[in-house]
Structure 1
Amino acid sequence: MRVFLGVTGASGAPYASRLLQSLAGAGCEIGLCASSAGIEVLATELYREPGLQRDEVLRRFVGDASDQVTVYAIDDWSSPYASGSAKVDAYVVCPCSMSTVGTLAAGAMANLIHRAASVALKERRRLVLVPRETPLSSIHLRGLATLHEAGAVILLAAPGFYHGAETVEDLVDFVVARALDQIGIDNSLIARWGS
């Protein structure tokens, strides 16, 4: 499976990290693109070093999955993910900032993450957006509703507790499992309801 993963500047780097690990573990070919704010969030939340350089953040973030991940610059319009003619199975933006939501809902494209998500929508491909913002303004809600109506899955980074979570990692796994479900990747990150 070929998957695009966009990382933007909303809090939620542990979700992105676990998702990347899970996609790699499932044998996916992953195209990764992180905005400058996304890099800062990864550096701050995962490595506790907000000033860490972009290349070092991405090296650490990709880790052992380097054979399966191709990193693209935020302005790489020649990336295969910038065109509907490329065969891509799914697109995920995790975490997804409200700036990204607003840009996508307006039909604008200022970078590769926006373009890839727009391609997913126009080609009617699987697009999962994982926003974490709270509370949400009416502007945020309208943007999310617009994207849902256009075909995106809005998967709020809102973990459930019914599966017996005991650690923060369990809560992260809950959200990541739901994202994987939405793009069609079998996983056993959490116990299934009724099993």
Structure 2
Amino acid sequence: MLGGAIGDASQPLVNLGGFNEFLLGREIVNCIAVDGANRKWIGTNSGVFLVSADGTEQLLFFNEDNSPLLSNIILSITIDGQTGEVFLGTDKGISSYRGTATQGTLTHGNVKVFPNPVRPEYTGQIAISGLVNNAQVKITDGAGRLIFETVALGGQAIWNGKGYGGNRAATGVYLVYSTDDTGKEDYVTKILFIQ
């Protein structure tokens, strides 16, 4: 990563399984794409890496063995900023992955919660999209108790449907409060949980 002075660069160390290693130590990098949260998707001959915005943490790694990738050789990466979908061009065809980061904006626009309502059989992630870039997001129950908070990944926040205690949200209406870092651009929407 580049530092403040000209020519001041360092190779970041990342913790992998309790061991510190150089990021992409021996990898051949074929392509790089940046998502809505400024994270880097790096295509190599061994698969694809997702690296944190500051380059100090490996967030994900996909290859043929741990994902539906058609090949480990990633030749191109394109990201749909509106949906967060990541398209991975390999030497054997295209694979896609539903990413969690979308392109944020300066104002809230067309905010959507999916799924909504959240039915008892659904156990996946809940996406709140259309948010301002890197919004502060707080979710409260009907009594106003804070049960979850996060920072949006670009224009989308992800919630696993659980509160701080690790329990799934009970039946009820939950309020989602979103604001930019100045507190001037804000938005409120609702999520219905059915158990």
Give the shorter-chain TM-score range. Answer: under 0.3
Greater RCO, CA 8 A, separation 6+: 1
Name the TM-score, length of structure 1 as normaliser: 0.28
Q: Which of the two has higher C-alpha Rg?
A: 2
Q: Which has the higher helix share?
A: 1
Q: Which has the higher strand share?
A: 2
